Amino acid sequence: MPASALKKAVKKNIQNIVQGDYAVSNDPERMLTTVLGSCVAVCLFDPVARVGGMNHFLLPGGGYASSTAKSCGLNMMELLINGLLKSGAKRENFQAKLFGGAHMIEGLTNIGSENAKFALDFLDYENISVVGKSLGGDRARRVRFWPTTGQARQKLMDRAETVNVEKRVVRKPVLAPVESSDLELF
């Protein structure tokens, strides 16, 4: 296989999980990846069914205590759990690995610790075993997770890379007005 074809095949099996997203897979070739600062990613897997998934969330607003924050975190956890159950996982087999929750900017509220606390409290309440975690600190992380085996790797980013992560701007798509005859479903 030519090098370009091999590179394309490898890229096809890597799925990037962005903030507010999740994915579930039972494909042994699939790798889920994300970059985290104060956000948290929960990697949840069933080693018996060989299916797993990852989410990536940041509690909005006032943090863990607010009902808006709880509903955001709860939603992301429920989406991940329900996705796993639909893929054949059994709740009693769930194992979790957590990453992120860094304190990225000195002098501001430590939303990272609030994100980490929410995830840990949720998993404890749901009686889901945490088999690994890397939470806190002051550096961003690049996380790779293989959902069928539960294997995870992280790379702490250096300060220059971390600054670039903090300055990323998420732009909302500009949508043109749609008339009924212009509606296209795909």
* Positions marked active-site: 39
Q: How far apart are CA 63 and CA 145, in angstroms?
A: 27
Q: How many whole angstroms separate alpha carbon 128 and alpha carbon 146?
A: 19
The three-state secondary structure class of 159 is helix
Supply the DSSP symbol for 179.
-
Gyration radius from the chain CA atoms: 18
Q: In what order do the strands lie in the sheet with 40-46?
A: 21-25, 51-56, 40-46, 95-100, 129-135
In angstroms, the CA 139 to CA 159 distance is 7
Residue showing tokens 């949508």 = 175
